[in-house]
């Protein structure tokens, strides 16, 4: 199911600032070597994440689900001085691929890549987070949300990806619909679901 007319998607991308050359190359290599190119953040959502980080100026960023490294590098480009990203990736093959691109980027030193279950990584990290990007296994979204809300800084922001699930949420897509309903019913937070690409939900403390 196409959420937006492909001509509008093409126009949106064309009218947005162009893809960073390294990220464009990363995207092409992801499709060739890892497949599942649809899991990439993409140029428009990537720029949107970059702008959110530029506006929020977070010192501590947590990424749950790194895949090939596109979103982490997009965010790293806008970090303030001293800002850092802890990126979590379960799959060691994807993690190795992403680390190779981090090593090539002038922003890669701002990212620490943790390989293994995100819940274990989160438990090993101290302190609160200013910005959290969730883009991992959809069945785990509620658990990730519950783990990070208590550790969200006072003016912190959570961004959850794929929250429209290709439009299947209206038919009750189990994992994402459950997550959306869980967040919507939570009095601790305020959220807005945006129809950017496959859906992005922005969440803050109430």
State the DSSP H helix or E strand holding residue 183, giving kind and residue range, or none if neither: helix 174-184
The CATH superfamily label for domain 6-205 reads Vaccinia Virus protein VP39 (3.40.50.150)
Provide, for the chain, the percentages of residues in helix, strand and coil under a 3-state DSSP scheme, each rounded to the nearest 5. 50, 20, 30
In a structure prediction context, what are the per-residue pLDDT tens digits for the chain, which is 206 residues long?
567 788 998 999 999 998 899 999 999 999 899 987 777 788 899 999 999 999 999 999 999 999 999 999 999 999 999 999 999 999 999 999 999 999 999 999 999 999 999 999 999 999 999 999 999 999 999 999 999 999 999 999 999 999 999 888 888 668 999 999 999 999 999 999 998 888 999 999 99
Dmax over CA atoms of the chain, in Å, equals 45
What's residue 166's pLDDT? 86
The Cα angle at residue 143 between residues 49 and 132, in degrees rounded to 5: 20
pLDDT at 173: 63
Joined together, the tokens standing for residue 61 give: 């960023």
pLDDT of residue 13: 92
Query: What is the structure's pLDDT at 109?
Result: 97
Dump pLDDT digits (tens) for 95-127. Answer: 999 999 999 999 999 999 999 999 999 999 999
Q: Which residues contact 152 (CB under 8 A, 6 or more apart)?
A: 128, 129, 132, 158, 204, 205
Q: Give the distance, in angstroms, between the CA of residue 30 and the centroid of all CA atoms in the same chain.
A: 16
Give pTM, 2 decimals: 0.95
* List of E strands, the chain: 60-64, 84-89, 111-115, 129-134, 152-161, 189-194, 200-205
Phi, then psi, of 127 in degrees rounded to 5:
85, -175
Domain boundaries, the chain: 6-205
**E strands, 90-151, where?**
111-115, 129-134
pLDDT for residue 92: 97
């Amino acid at each position: 199911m196409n959420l937006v007319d492909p001509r509008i998607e093409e126009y949106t991308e064309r009218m947005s600032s162009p893809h960073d050359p390294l990220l464009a190359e990363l995207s092409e290599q992801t499709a060739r070597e890892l497949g599942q190119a649809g899991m990439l953040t993409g140029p428009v959502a990537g720029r949107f994440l970059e702008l959110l980080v530029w506006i929020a100026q977070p010192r501590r960023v947590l990424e749950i689900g790194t895949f090939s490294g596109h979103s982490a590098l997009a965010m790293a480009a806008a970090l303030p001085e001293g800002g850092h990203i802890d990126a979590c990736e379960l799959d060691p093959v994807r993690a190795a691929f992403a680390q190779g691109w981090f090593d090539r980027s002038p922003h890669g030193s701002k990212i620490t890549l943790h390989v293994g279950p995100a819940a274990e990584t989160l438990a090993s990290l101290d302190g609160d987070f200013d910005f959290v990007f969730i883009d991992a296994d959809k069945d785990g979204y509620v658990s990730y949300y519950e783990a990070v809300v208590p550790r969200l800084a006072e003016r912190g922001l959570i961004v959850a990806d794929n929250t429209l699930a290709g439009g299947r949420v209206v038919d009750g897509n189990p994992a994402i619909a459950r997550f959306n309903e869980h967040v919507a019913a939570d009095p601790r937070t305020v959220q807005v679901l945006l129809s950017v690409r496959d859906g992005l939900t922005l969440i803050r403390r109430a």
